[in-house]
A and B are shown apart, each in its own frame.
Chain A
Amino acid sequence: MSPLQIAKECLANQSKHVRLNAFISRASQASILARASAAQDVAPGHWPPHGQLIAIKDNICTTDFPTTAASGTLKNFTSPYDATVVKLLRDAGAIIAGKTNMDEFGMGSHSIHSHFGAVRHEEEEGTVLSAGGSSGGSAVAVSSGQCTAALGTDTGGSVRLPAAYTSIVGFKPSYGLLSRWGVIAYANSLDTVGIIAEDVETTKHLFMTLNKYDSQDPTSLPPSTRARLGATSGFNSDPRHSQRPLRIGIPLEYNISDLHPDVKATWKRALDLLELEGHTLHPVSLPNTRHALSAYYILAPAEASSNLAKYDGVRYGTRADGPDGTPTSVLFAQTRGANLGLEVQRRILLGAFSLSAQAIDNYFIQAQKIRRLVQQDFDRVFATPNPLLSTPDTHAEDEGVDVIISPTAPTPSPLLSTVSSQPPTSAYKNDVFTVPASLAGLPAINIPIMVPQGDKQRPASPSYHSKYSWRTLGVQIIGQYGTDDLVLEVAEALKEYDEAGFNDGEKVREVEEDA
């Protein structure tokens, strides 16, 4: 399809799906069509994002739309500069489709904590599900065909979880690869720009476009270290062309008791597919995983309480009416109370507490130690040493695994009505599988894998293919730091096995079984 055709289709879907509330601001039809026509004139052979509609999560700064982070405090704020990732997309010929809805400042797992109302995710008419969060708007915009791809941000799973809920691809690269200059900080030691797309190939192209060193971002991985990353992977990263089979890690601690049966079945099918292709499966132990979620919900709010202290309405943003900081009131309390949402206020309070003199030793410091342990867990099981550590670990390559496969979320997407009435902390549990990779800064991707619904006994058995209705649920692939290419290749391969198995392979086996 030509850029113009794609643009027209996306625009039609935008009009059709307005009620999903995926966008906070959108580019005008006229401007999108004009740009798509201009892109059409350029000689073919361009890769995405050239001439494609790309949506941007509204916590990433753009000069041509407001950047609100879905917060009342920034509801009228337009950034004077473009984030580096936006600039790179523009330079690559992308058409910015608009800014997507989200949980305020990235704090949430269902995209319901937005000043602009909740994002709706509909798989079938009349059933409104959670879009996941916090990049729910980006995920729904892609899954409902309103754009080709979208940028999100992933602090503890905010790209992967909504991708899993909406059955699309959501990729969180290694921390430090994609520039955060112009990305509104939630918890900046964890915040990572992520890519949401319909397929892995588009994701790869966007990743290639954005994976550039940026001197504006002090945490951007310097070119010298980037050069080292390429050198350490050691083998052709595409498992379909690799000399040796992949070693796949199955993290035992992720097999939790309240794992939804369909999720478990999906996980199992993904592992089966890989084994059928000749890769080997290895149980691995990541013992500190059980503390990871608590550590995350100490560290992220602590950083958030600090990062969000700037929203006082003095230099930009919304101010509450009347004077702030009268002799009888606390300075800025009125403005911040009126313009920051409840979940944001809750996390600021949590963070302020865990950093306070009386609590820091028991909370913040402990959580930092757990973060280190979680990272060491991963380093222990991966074959490739962590390139950020000066001393490579010693175990032989055949002892470690190349990637880890796990579920992305413990359940399929819940009903929006259910999550809206839940106590706030129950939403935190949805991040249990995504948070460890965030704490360790590792590349991780969600891909949708098909699974027959409702059969707990023989979920992936090929012969039942035609007898059941199939749905897609998310599976997560985690790699060692810097092995982003490997993670993407494994994702693409697995997706291929999945589709081939569904279309041909499992049919073939069905025939064999019958015979």
Chain B
Amino acid sequence: MLQQPTRRVLSTLARRPYVCPACLRSARSPSLATSPSISRPLLRNLQTDSQALPQEDTPFRKQLKDAARKKKKEDRAAPGSKKGSKKQSDPRLEKWELTVGVEIHAELNTAHKLFSGAATSMNDTPNTHVALFDVAFPGSQPHFQKETLIPAIRAAIALNCEIQPRSSFDRKHYFYQDQPSGYQITQFYEPFAKDGHITLFPHDFPGGVSPEGGPITIGIKQVQMEQDTAKTIQQPPSTHLLDFNRVSHPLIEIITLPQIHNPTVAAVCVRKIQTILKTVNACTTGMEMGGLRADINVSIRERNVQPGKDSLSYSGVTGLGQRTEIKNLASVKAVEDAIVAERDRQIDLLEGGGVVEGETRGWTLGSKTTKRLRGKEGEIDYRYMPDPDIAPVVVGKDVVDHLRSTLPMLSDEAMQVLVDVDQYGLTPKDASTLLALDDGNRLEYYHDLVLDLQGMLSEEEAKAARIGKVAGNWVLMELGALFKDETWSAIRVPSSELASIIACLIRKQITGRTAKLLLVMKFDGEPRPVQQIIEDEGLILRPLSHQEYVEMARQLLEEKPDVVDDIVAKGQHKKIKWFVGQMMSRGAEGTVEPGTAELVLRDLLHLPAE
């Protein structure tokens, strides 16, 4: 939201025909920091006319390579303006290597709580979905809801984990008012999924370029199930209201290996995990809604130095420096910024002759540095104990196989389908934008739109018009521009209405300008169906007769003899375009087709057709 004024300027620019290409470039690579809803579409709108579409037959791999090359060139051309260039220019980062591990907590999409039949809920009246066990009433016992395993296993399969045939639940003890029983039930000794990995492809990164060139694979140590806590509502100065609706909502915690060496990679990793969880319908909401939280551990070590005796190992990764943990990061931007701040703090500390303490630190959005919360001596001993009331969970291979075979398509696979010429034919950039936007809702809308179009057009029409690509442009650019300042909604302009607009355009029943106008009308709440607006307002393209074109052109040429002179005598043929523009603006809305106009003009001026 901070960038609203800028965005408003850009969106007005969007309606102008010419824009400085340099501005475009700098605006085109959104930083990861931007939340998904404030992303590219508008900016892409600007490029529609100026950017040549890549050849259909260019292989995906080559496109990525080209993008990487372009990115490099841009980096060189504009030093200082890119994240990557800072790294290259900072000698401290040449010396020190960063290592990061991430723990992500995500609320599972389930009907019931983890250990009671109480319903899960988001914004219901406080304390209306609470079973006896949820608030730790004396004598109550846990009732494991085995259905909660389904989204958890789906998530773990999507993260390439091995589902354990046997897992169990343990109690993690600490006192806090949002934890009714004095412990959280989690999976410490035997998690349900282990040894997975996630691969970050270049298209997962902003600008389509991975900081390490090729794909980056990060190990997932384990995925475990656990309970959420109650929600505390602070009423200053000293009242804490407790809402136990959330207590025992099932969570999964995903723990990566400390194999990340770049803040952007960590952020992309978190965002991609978020996308995967959403794609396989494992989780309730995205990070920004509080449905996903991340803890990170950060350490640095000197490059090109043999690890000394005092080096440490975490999760089997050896030779690392002392790490600190930063808890409770609630957005992708916070993850990236907190890592940068903590990395720089540790480098400052070590270069100043200090020592990094193993401690827990906090980060608030917008701050420049992390803040110490508690040191090692203040660490809580959680006294993990197997829960005697909860039997081990045994998951059959048949269940895993079934969930694997019914898993929704993952983003990497979806990406392949979207860029496949025989299917959707989007550019990798458009495809990854679609995948990233609005927790996948934009992609869903896009699919609906393409389906609608296929219903309206014949197979030949659809193929000739390349509806996959056309629909992509409309969803990302035209519609994207309109939603620039608003939250995405798939029902504001129903996909069927947009499909009607596009179908009319493809059949040349309306002009491009009319089509855009119709979209804006629908966006602004016009209740009439598109077809009716076209009829009521007489927007249907009525082609001018050849005679009418000739008359209009002749009149214009007579009015501007100097321009005619420039064209005929001085050979400035390009200026014909100016006359074409004039004809289009003189003719009634949508009646003058630029191609026909130019032909008529060239004919009158005795110039060869191009």
Q: How far is the CA of A184 from the CA of B135 in the complex (A)?
A: 14
- A309 B385 Cβ-Cβ under 8 A: no
Q: Which residues of A contact B486 (CB under 8 A)?
A: none
**Shortest Cβ gap from A84 to chain B (Å):** 10
Q: Which residues of B contact A184 (CB under 8 A)?
A: 138-139
- A79 B135 Cβ-Cβ under 8 A: no
**Shortest Cβ gap from B233 to chain A (Å):** 15
**Shortest Cβ gap from A183 to chain B (Å):** 6
The residue from A83, A187, A303 contacting B139, defined by CB atoms under 8 A apart: A83
Majority-rule SS of A interface residues: loop
**Shortest Cβ gap from B484 to chain A (Å):** 46
Q: Which residue of B lies closest to A323 (CB)?
A: B238
Question: Which of A181, A219, A306 is most buried by chain B, counting CB atoms within 10 A of its CB?
Answer: A306
Q: Which of B178-186, B219-227, B514-522 contacts A (4 or more CB under 8 A)?
A: B178-186
Question: Which of B140, B171, B390 is most buried by chain A, counting CB atoms within 10 A of its CB?
Answer: B140
**Shortest Cβ gap from B309 to chain A (Å):** 24
The residue from B144, B177, B183 contacting A218, defined by CB atoms under 8 A apart: B144
Q: Which residues of A contact B138 (CB under 8 A)?
A: 61, 67, 69, 74, 77, 79, 184, 310, 316
Q: How far is the CA of A83 from the CA of B139 in the complex (A)?
A: 8
Q: Which residue of B lies closest to A358 (CB)?
A: B381
A-B contacts at CB below 8 angstroms, number? 97
Q: Is B24 an interface residue (CB 8 A)?
A: no
Interface readout for A352-367 with B: 1 if CB under 8 Å, 0 if not?
1001110010001000
The residue from A60, A74, A216, A315 contacting B141, defined by CB atoms under 8 A apart: A216
The residue from A182, A189, A310, A356 contacting B182, defined by CB atoms under 8 A apart: A310
Q: Which residue of B lies closest to A180 (CB)?
A: B141
- A309 B391 Cβ-Cβ under 8 A: no
Q: Which residues of B contact A364 (CB under 8 A)?
A: 385
Q: Which residue of A lies closest to B379 (CB)?
A: A357
Q: Is A322 an interface residue (CB 8 A)?
A: no
- A218 B390 Cβ-Cβ under 8 A: yes
Q: Is A188 an interface residue (CB 8 A)?
A: yes
Q: Is A103 an interface residue (CB 8 A)?
A: no
Q: Which residue of A lies closest to B238 (CB)?
A: A323
Q: Is A43 an interface residue (CB 8 A)?
A: no
Q: How far is the CA of A121 from the CA of B439 in the complex (A)?
A: 70
User: In the complex, which residues 116-171 of chain B have their Cβ closer than 8 Å to any Cβ of chain A?
Assistant: 132, 135-144, 171
Task: Report the contact-size class of chain A (Cβ under 8 Å from the partner).
Answer: 35 or more
Interface readout for A415-435 with B: 1 if CB under 8 Å, 0 if not?
000000000000000000000
- A188 B175 Cβ-Cβ under 8 A: no
Q: Is A80 an interface residue (CB 8 A)?
A: yes
Q: How far is the CA of A217 from the CA of B390 in the complex (A)?
A: 10
Q: Given the known inter-chain contacts A80-B132, A218-B391, A314-B180, please indicate yes or no for A306 contacting B385, CB distance below 8 A.
A: yes
User: In the complex, which residues 64-118 of chain A have their Cβ closer than 8 Å to any Cβ of chain B?
Assistant: 67, 69, 74, 77, 79-81, 83
Interface readout for B373-417 with A: 1 if CB under 8 Å, 0 if not?
000000001011100111100000000000000000000000000
Q: How far is the CA of A61 from the CA of B140 in the complex (A)?
A: 10
The residue from B136, B139, B390 contacting A79, defined by CB atoms under 8 A apart: B139
The residue from A69, A218, A302 contacting B389, defined by CB atoms under 8 A apart: A218
Q: How far is the CA of A323 from the CA of B237 in the complex (A)?
A: 13
Q: Is B71 an interface residue (CB 8 A)?
A: no
- A181 B171 Cβ-Cβ under 8 A: no
Q: Which residues of A contact B175 (CB under 8 A)?
A: 309, 312, 330-332
Q: List 14 A-B contacts (CB under 8 A).
A: A80-B132, A83-B139, A181-B140, A182-B139, A184-B138, A187-B388, A188-B388, A188-B389, A217-B141, A218-B141, A310-B181, A312-B177, A314-B177, A355-B383
Binding site for B on A (CB under 8 A): 60-61, 67, 69, 74, 77, 79-81, 83, 180-185, 187-189, 216-219, 302-303, 305-306, 308-310, 312, 314-316, 323, 330-332, 352, 355-357, 360, 364
Binding site for A on B (CB under 8 A): 132, 135-144, 171, 173, 175-177, 180-183, 238, 242, 381, 383-385, 388-391
